A and B are shown apart, each in its own frame.
Chain A
Amino acid sequence: MNFPILTFLTFIPVVGMIVILFLKKENIKGIKYTALIATGIQVILAVFLMGNYNYSLGGINDASSFQFVELFRWIEIHDFPWIGTIKIDYFMGVDGLSTPLVLLTAIITFIATLSSWTIDKQLKGYFALFLLLDTGMMGVFVSLDFFLFFVFWEIMLLPMYFLIGIWGGPRREYAAIKFFLYTLFGSIFILLVMIGLYFSTTEVLADGSKVFTFNILEMMNTANYTSDGILSPLNPNNWRFLAYIGLFAGFAIKIPMFPFHTWLPDAHVEAPTPISVILAGVLLKMGIYGILRFNYPIFPEITQQLAWYIGLFGMINIIYGALAAMAQRDFKKLIAYSSISHMGYCLLGMAALNTMGISGAILQMFNHGTITAMLFLIVGVLYDRTHTRNLDDFGGMATQMPIYTGFVTVAFFAAIGLPGLSGFISEIFVFLGAFSYDTIRIIAIISTLGILLGAGYMLWTLQRVYLGTLKEKWAGLKDLDRREYLMFIPLTLIIIFLGIYPSAMLDVMNTSVNTMVKFMQDSQMFFSSFGG
């Protein structure tokens, strides 16, 4: 067996967590550096993964073209009453859909660790939970077994709850509970659909017997559905539509999609900076990822039916988020709403159901991850120094903190989608894709308003906080220190690099996206033979 890189990627943080739990509470340095080393190793592994990734393999529905696969039986119970054999696999692997997100998770977590340096309350507990969260996130992106996926999905939830609820701002408990309940609410739908799918698909074992399966790839193969399975396309009572909606809603909460988005601003405002960075940088991607990984290939026929609505919600997210951002007074809340707007582009791109749109959506996830992470760090840097986030309190920061403002300018213009920076490529791909699909062309046209509104609120913020004359009370503020440089420089380089050479990321996902589009198109024919 090869080096199980995905297992290492996923569980290195847990190792770090265990080490931290054994460390003394007073050993602040030891705790911090353990976390930094754990996430640092993760970055190295993720880069190694990228370096050895074979661009020509598609993945999606074909187990043999997934890479770095680890597959063994995790749970197997024979002769279980009512069901028979229960089998759950430890099945991990990556394709072009997940590889960019694995890299993103590693990078963002590392930078969030750096950003956690300023945390001074109960460090031991903080970093332990932080690393556990890391494991959950990584696991979500590499699992190919629904059950395993769900386990990681739920693992994420608890540390996040505590990280917001204990280390957050004044309304932290409200925000934490809101986040927790919202996500849990979504999880229930995912769980239901998971069980429904489990009892509808079978897998043939080596000995020829058929057992129910949690394997996602098997769920994509229509031949595996039992004729009476509740979510089988052969079943005349078509529950698949409802299942699709349920699953979609479960994931949509994470995106977050209008109207399930209000937990996000609260969570962001209350969360400490590094947690905001992770929340925006990684957690929001799970919704889109889940839809692309589950909804799209498992329910291709319903995806086709609902593409227009997905695009519509994308449009609403884009415009609604942008308008809501414009009215905010709290810097962090503004960035939170801008996140909602930017995630709308992902939905719009996905709805295009073609290569450009879906590639654009995945790229947008990556770019939004880096750009918005940087935006939250920017707010964090300012908050650390001034202890306020009210936009009206600032002004003229550019004269006091010129280097910091330089990074701010890059991040803001990247968020606006300036060519030469990464955000532009994903936006233009999303629009090219959506415009190519005549069903959602009008939606795409209206959505272009988003880039106008985006420029509006971003430049307005830039003006209010950084331009103008410096307020006297901020005259003593220091520019960035070395640790902060270390957070900003890698992100800036990624943003510029992907703006100039987007192929570095597009090539990774290209084969997989093509495979998915092709697969969905082919299954379209299969489903149309059922008249639905």
Chain B
Amino acid sequence: MNESLLINFAVVILFLPLLGFIVTLLLGKKVSKIFIFENLVMLIGLILSIVLLIAKVTTFNNVSISSEFMWIDMGDVPVIGQIQIFLGLLLDDISALMIFVVFLISFLVHFFSIDYMKGDIRYNRYFAYLGLFTFSMAGIVLTHNLLMMYIFWELVGVSSYLLIGFWFEKKSASDAGKKAFIVNRIGDLGFLLGLLTLFLTYNTFSFVEIFTEISQGNLPLNSEFGLTITGIFIFCGAVGKSAQFPLHVWLPDAMEGPTPVSALIHAATMVAAGVYLVVRIFGILTADAMLIIATIGALSALIPATIALTQNDIKRVLAYSTVSQLGYMIMALGVGAYKFAFFHLITHAFFKACMFLGSGSVIHAMHHEQDIQNMGGLRKKMPITYATFLISAIAISGIPLTSGFLSKDGILAGTYAFGTLTGHWYFPFIGFLVAMMTAFYMFRLIILTFHGEPRNKEKYEHAHESSFIMVMPLVVLSILSFFIWYTPNPMDPEAGWMYSDWIKNPELHTPENLRFGFMQSDVTSVITPPGEHRIMYSETYTAALHHVHGSAVFLSIAMAVLGILLAFVMYQWKKISADILADKLKPLYKFSYNKWYFDELYHKIFVAGTIGLSRLIAWFDLKVIDGIVDGSAAVTKAFSKSIGWFDDNVIDGLVNLTASVSAFIGLIFSKFQTGKVQTYIIMVIFSLVILLFLFKSF
């Protein structure tokens, strides 16, 4: 296998889902079994992506392979210079790993949906949309330039619009789709501006070329501020897609879509795209930009976690949990814990997809009941769903032996180290706090759903374990939540292939003086602990990380256990009544339950504001501008009327006067016209006499 074959693999992987989309969409009405084709296509894609991943981490480790073609060639143009826009693919460690994750989850979701969506009137169309979505996502992962990233970014937006609003007969579903698209577009405006800034400076969109230029000290807009602002602009795109504060509001609403869709796009892929984007541009972020990113991430981790504590809709809890976990990743990137962030992206994709599909399984069994207050006791009825859900919940809480522990602990250690290095202690504080809240609300969810006595007997009686088609994906995903896939040592991810072979240290291109101190090339002579040579950024950083590692592990486990314990105390053993607590902390409870009133606030300010403004403009257009136009027409008309009157009465009066005078004269003279020859002769003679007299005087 050589490089060009590998990249051809990638091309095939990219276009397979598009093929699936087109075929399934066009034949969907005629061939009822066409969804099998879509599933088959995804299976082939998955197999290819596994081959690709294996080839990449074995033979082609450390190599990035790219291939491009010229899309738009404007040649050498005046004023700007060379304009050639390339599209192409880049296959490096990150994209190979990510494309596998995308295809794995996408395939499992396709498979799960075969049963879940059974009987839907637009069954085939659903699979077609899944294909379109997977295509868009694959494009984001495999692209080698920012423009193509933006293109597929928007395509992800539209396919998620179609999927979220799939049951468009429901107003809430079409509202949610619209909201998702528009809120995402707000972030995309920033992304676009970042894109423009970079193109303006470098006349290229290619990651590699831009990075090279920046390494050489050519900064966007020729200023350090330019580099910072570019990073933040592009990050805006990630804020939208990854549902970060303050644009997180679309994600919980997006739960209106079919549940497998939530698993696919709201747990594992679309929302991961934002994190992936930041991973891609990590090398050019300045310290200022990173601090902003970390702050946004921390807020996004904290706020939704507090909301998830009180929600009763099973999917909404998961949705807020997703936002919170994505916030973790973004915060991790902001504090420089690059590897852990990307690792968490992958582990989270598996266990969160498992939980979403698990909730789908529950909702399916409960006949579209989503309120956990009406559930309970399902553990006996749905043992496999319960087991897989439990494993995933343990993973997300960060209990050892799970993948979640490995990645989450890494992130927490990263924030902790960041705290020691820079003094920004609120990041680790929020990190640990959120860890506890996560464990709490996850086990609250599990206890209320699966444990205890059934609170809705009737629905409970009808509930049953789901079919093989729906359970199989759950099992696969929960198995992937164990540590063994990533490292042989359950306590130390660094011992495994994940960090050494698959996720490499990031290459930094930001000028040294714009980085955090610990990210600058090492000059200090910190002694590396013996046997440790894995240096990320600098030895200072490595040392700090090692220094805090022990306490971070201890703290994170403690927090998780504390959270789980609290959940059991409140909901399983009922030592503390949740209702009484809620009553005591009523304002806080209501604040959390109503999601911090973000939706109300945004609706009042932005939505109502825009619509109000648009009405004002429309009024202005109709009354003022058109008023002037019609007014001037009216004035002209009135003027012309008065002219008309003048014309009729004065001018024409004069004319008529002349006419009447002449008529009068004519009348008189007509008397002379008698028709008698004698009279005429007399008159001629008379006239002659007069004329003679006249001429005589000359």
In the assembled complex, the Cα of A325 lies from the Cα of B614 at a distance in Å of 8
Partner of B182, one of A323, A448, A455, A521: A455
Partner of A419, one of B83, B154, B189: B154
User: Are A327 and B174 in contact, CB atoms less than 8 angstroms apart?
Assistant: no
User: Are B614 and A467 in contact, CB atoms less than 8 angstroms apart?
Assistant: no
In the assembled complex, the Cα of A453 lies from the Cα of B193 at a distance in Å of 16
Residues of B628-663 at the interface with A, using a CB-CB cut-off of 8 Å, are 629, 633
Residues of A324-338 at the interface with B, using a CB-CB cut-off of 8 Å, are 324-328
Cβ of A355 within 8 Å of any chain B Cβ, yes or no, is yes
Contacts of A510 in B (CB 8 A): 74-75, 77
Binds B, one of A226-234, A372-380, A430-438, A480-488: A430-438
Query: C-beta contact mask, B130-160 vs A, less than 8 Å → 1, else 0?
Result: 0000000000000000010011101100100
Residues of A458-504 at the interface with B, using a CB-CB cut-off of 8 Å, are 459-460, 463, 466-469, 502-503
The residue in chain B whose Cβ has the minimal distance to the Cβ of A519 is: B78
Query: C-beta contact mask, B607-644 vs A, less than 8 Å → 1, else 0?
Result: 00011011101110100011001000100000000000
Partner of A320, one of B152, B186, B189, B617: B617
Contacts of B155 in A (CB 8 A): 418-420
Partner of A356, one of B83, B171, B182, B610: B83
Partner of B621, one of A262, A396, A432, A468: A262
User: Are A449 and B181 in contact, CB atoms less than 8 angstroms apart?
Assistant: no
User: Are B74 and A445 in contact, CB atoms less than 8 angstroms apart?
Assistant: no
Partner of A503, one of B72, B150, B151, B199: B72
Contacts of A396 in B (CB 8 A): 169
Contacts of B241 in A (CB 8 A): none
Q: How far is the CB of B299 from chain A (nearest CB, A)?
A: 23
User: Are A467 and B165 in contact, CB atoms less than 8 angstroms apart?
Assistant: yes
Contacts of A502 in B (CB 8 A): 72
Cβ of B175 within 8 Å of any chain A Cβ, yes or no, is yes
User: Are A359 and B618 in contact, CB atoms less than 8 angstroms apart?
Assistant: no
In the assembled complex, the Cα of A419 lies from the Cα of B625 at a distance in Å of 35
The SS class assigned to the A binding surface is: helix
Query: C-beta contact mask, B674-687 vs A, less than 8 Å → 1, else 0?
Result: 00000000000000
Partner of A467, one of B174, B610, B615: B174
Contacts of A353 in B (CB 8 A): 79
Cβ of B73 within 8 Å of any chain A Cβ, yes or no, is yes
Cβ of B65 within 8 Å of any chain A Cβ, yes or no, is no
Cβ of A183 within 8 Å of any chain B Cβ, yes or no, is no
User: Are A413 and B83 in contact, CB atoms less than 8 angstroms apart?
Assistant: no
Contacts of A518 in B (CB 8 A): 78
User: Are A323 and B617 in contact, CB atoms less than 8 angstroms apart?
Assistant: yes
Residues of A194-216 at the interface with B, using a CB-CB cut-off of 8 Å, are none
In the assembled complex, the Cα of A453 lies from the Cα of B181 at a distance in Å of 12
Please judge, given known A-B contacts A262-B626, A452-B186, whether A468 and B77 are in contact too, CB under 8 Å.
no
Number of interface residues of A (CB under 8 A): 57
User: Are A327 and B615 in contact, CB atoms less than 8 angstroms apart?
Assistant: yes
User: Are A324 and B621 in contact, CB atoms less than 8 angstroms apart?
Assistant: yes
In the assembled complex, the Cα of A459 lies from the Cα of B186 at a distance in Å of 15
Partner of B74, one of A324, A506, A521: A506
Cβ of B464 within 8 Å of any chain A Cβ, yes or no, is no
Contacts of A466 in B (CB 8 A): 168
Cβ of B698 within 8 Å of any chain A Cβ, yes or no, is no
The residue in chain A whose Cβ has the minimal distance to the Cβ of B178 is: A459
How many A-B contacts at CB < 8 Å in the complex? 135
User: Are A445 and B629 in contact, CB atoms less than 8 angstroms apart?
Assistant: no
User: Are B151 and A420 in contact, CB atoms less than 8 angstroms apart?
Assistant: yes
In the assembled complex, the Cα of A182 lies from the Cα of B200 at a distance in Å of 40
Q: How far is the CB of A83 from chain B (nearest CB, A)?
A: 34
Contacts of A449 in B (CB 8 A): 189
Cβ of B451 within 8 Å of any chain A Cβ, yes or no, is no
Interface residues on B, range: 35 or more
Cβ of A57 within 8 Å of any chain B Cβ, yes or no, is no
User: Are B169 and A460 in contact, CB atoms less than 8 angstroms apart?
Assistant: no
In the assembled complex, the Cα of A355 lies from the Cα of B85 at a distance in Å of 14
Cβ of B459 within 8 Å of any chain A Cβ, yes or no, is no
Query: C-beta contact mask, B67-83 vs A, less than 8 Å → 1, else 0?
Result: 00001111101111001
Cβ of A514 within 8 Å of any chain B Cβ, yes or no, is yes
Residues of A216-243 at the interface with B, using a CB-CB cut-off of 8 Å, are none
Please judge, given known A-B contacts A413-B158, A502-B72, whether A327 and B617 are in contact too, CB under 8 Å.
yes
Cβ of B7 within 8 Å of any chain A Cβ, yes or no, is no
Q: How far is the CB of A199 from chain B (nearest CB, A)?
A: 30
User: Are A354 and B614 in contact, CB atoms less than 8 angstroms apart?
Assistant: no
In the assembled complex, the Cα of A436 lies from the Cα of B169 at a distance in Å of 45
Cβ of A451 within 8 Å of any chain B Cβ, yes or no, is yes
Partner of B80, one of A355, A428, A452, A459: A355
The residue in chain B whose Cβ has the minimal distance to the Cβ of A429 is: B72
Cβ of A398 within 8 Å of any chain B Cβ, yes or no, is yes
User: Are A359 and B154 in contact, CB atoms less than 8 angstroms apart?
Assistant: no
Cβ of B384 within 8 Å of any chain A Cβ, yes or no, is no
Cβ of B40 within 8 Å of any chain A Cβ, yes or no, is no
Q: How far is the CB of B146 from chain A (nearest CB, A)?
A: 12
The residue in chain B whose Cβ has the minimal distance to the Cβ of A501 is: B71
User: Are B169 and A469 in contact, CB atoms less than 8 angstroms apart?
Assistant: yes
In the assembled complex, the Cα of A22 lies from the Cα of B545 at a distance in Å of 92
Partner of A354, one of B77, B168, B169: B77
Q: How far is the CB of B28 from chain A (nearest CB, A)?
A: 10
Cβ of A178 within 8 Å of any chain B Cβ, yes or no, is yes
Contacts of A432 in B (CB 8 A): 196, 199-200
Contacts of B174 in A (CB 8 A): 463, 467-468
User: Are A354 and B78 in contact, CB atoms less than 8 angstroms apart?
Assistant: yes
Cβ of B381 within 8 Å of any chain A Cβ, yes or no, is no
Cβ of A390 within 8 Å of any chain B Cβ, yes or no, is no
Please judge, given known A-B contacts A467-B168, A514-B77, whether A324 and B617 are in contact too, CB under 8 Å.
yes
Contacts of A455 in B (CB 8 A): 181-182, 185
Query: C-beta contact mask, B600-612 vs A, less than 8 Å → 1, else 0?
Result: 0000000000110
Contacts of A514 in B (CB 8 A): 75, 77-78
In the assembled complex, the Cα of A323 lies from the Cα of B613 at a distance in Å of 7
Contacts of B611 in A (CB 8 A): 326-327
Contacts of B193 in A (CB 8 A): 445, 448
Q: How far is the CB of B679 from chain A (nearest CB, A)?
A: 53
Q: How far is the CB of A319 from chain B (nearest CB, A)?
A: 9
Please judge, given known A-B contacts A324-B614, A435-B196, whether A468 and B189 are in contact too, CB under 8 Å.
no
In the assembled complex, the Cα of A518 lies from the Cα of B169 at a distance in Å of 55
User: Are B168 and A436 in contact, CB atoms less than 8 angstroms apart?
Assistant: no
User: Are A435 and B200 in contact, CB atoms less than 8 angstroms apart?
Assistant: yes
Q: How far is the CB of A104 from chain B (nearest CB, A)?
A: 20
Cβ of A386 within 8 Å of any chain B Cβ, yes or no, is no
In the assembled complex, the Cα of A133 lies from the Cα of B200 at a distance in Å of 43
Contacts of B177 in A (CB 8 A): 459
In the assembled complex, the Cα of A34 lies from the Cα of B169 at a distance in Å of 45
Contacts of A521 in B (CB 8 A): 78-79
Cβ of A259 within 8 Å of any chain B Cβ, yes or no, is yes
User: Are A451 and B78 in contact, CB atoms less than 8 angstroms apart?
Assistant: no
Contacts of A452 in B (CB 8 A): 182, 185-186, 189
Cβ of A125 within 8 Å of any chain B Cβ, yes or no, is no
In the assembled complex, the Cα of A125 lies from the Cα of B66 at a distance in Å of 62
Contacts of B178 in A (CB 8 A): 459-460, 463
Q: How far is the CB of A404 from chain B (nearest CB, A)?
A: 14
User: Are B615 and A468 in contact, CB atoms less than 8 angstroms apart?
Assistant: no
User: Are B154 and A418 in contact, CB atoms less than 8 angstroms apart?
Assistant: yes
10 A-B residue contacts at CB 8 Å?
A178-B629, A323-B610, A323-B617, A353-B79, A355-B83, A456-B182, A456-B610, A468-B174, A518-B78, A521-B78
Given contacts A328-B618, A467-B165, A503-B73, 18 further A-B contacts (CB under 8 A): A263-B629, A323-B618, A324-B618, A354-B77, A354-B79, A355-B79, A428-B147, A431-B196, A435-B199, A436-B200, A444-B196, A451-B185, A456-B182, A457-B614, A467-B169, A468-B168, A468-B169, A517-B78
Can you list the 3 inter-chain pairs with the closest CB atoms, starting with the nearest?
A: A327-B618, A419-B151, A326-B614
Query: Which B positions have Cβ atoms within 8 angstroms of A?
Result: 71-75, 77-80, 83, 147, 150-152, 154-155, 158, 161, 165, 168-169, 171, 174-175, 177-178, 181-182, 185-186, 189, 192-193, 196-197, 199-200, 610-611, 613-615, 617-619, 621, 625-626, 629, 633
